[in-house]
Amino acid sequence: MSSWNEGSEGLEQPIVSAVTHSEDEVVFDLSGLPDRPGIAAAIFEAIATEEVNVDTILQDVVHGSATVSFSVPAGDVDAARRALGHVHDAIGPFEVVEIADLGKVALIGAGMRSHPGVTARMFRTLADERINLRMISTSPITISCLIPRDDLTRAVAALRTAFALDSG
């Protein structure tokens, strides 16, 4: 029985111990990349050379063309741009789109991987607030979503309520 069932009384809820957020996320969407071994390595080696902190990475391949998206803190944007310039020189042309109006909201807690209802509850809470998810990242102790920066305050409040973190 899940500890997130509605109407269940007496069950201990919080495996979620906190809701955190940051306001300085920028996503780089790279499209038109060749779908061949070494492309992701070339991109992220260049990023590492410029000492850029990468948070979330997504890759998709459709009809022989790859798309890679990754997020960085706003303070690393110039270095990421320099790195991508080097990648253009190494692998050829591709399109880069920057999305700079994002923030990150995250649930923090132990054992979330063994409680599948946590992710569903987070997504339903944000959907009920009409907050669109741009990127999602998970680990054993966090579930993070990149969302429009203007929605951060509302997202944090709604998640704190949904996971009973307002008391105490």
pLDDT of residue 144: 93
Residues 93 and 132 occupy one common structural domain: no
Q: Which of 33, 32, 19, 53 minimizes the C-alpha distance to 121?
A: 19
Residues 61 and 113 occupy one common structural domain: no
pLDDT of residue 116: 76
Q: Which of 119, 118, 66 minimizes the C-alpha distance to 94?
A: 66
Q: Is the pLDDT of residue 12 over 50?
A: no
| pLDDT band at residue 95 under the 50/70/90 scheme | very high
Q: How many domains does the chain have?
A: 2
Does residue 94 belong to any structural domain of this protein? yes
Q: Is the pLDDT of residue 86 over 60?
A: yes
> Burial level of 91, CB count in 10 A (0-12/13-18/19+)?
middle
Residues 85 and 124 occupy one common structural domain: no
Residues 32 and 66 occupy one common structural domain: yes
Stretch 37-66: mean pLDDT, rounded?
91
Does residue 4 belong to any structural domain of this protein? no
Tell me if residue 19 falls in helix, strand or coil: strand
Q: What is the mean pLDDT of the chain?
A: 87
Q: CA-to-CA distance for 37 and 19, rounded, in angstroms?
A: 38
What is the model's pTM? 0.79
| pLDDT band at residue 164 under the 50/70/90 scheme | confident
pLDDT of residue 167: 60
pLDDT of residue 98: 96
Q: Is the pLDDT of residue 65 over 90?
A: no
Structural domain boundaries, residue 120:
16-22+101-162
What are the angstrom distances between the C-alpha of 57 and each of 29, 112, 153? 10, 21, 24
Q: Is the pLDDT of residue 72 over 90?
A: yes
pLDDT of residue 166: 76
129 vs 138, residue with greater confidence: 129
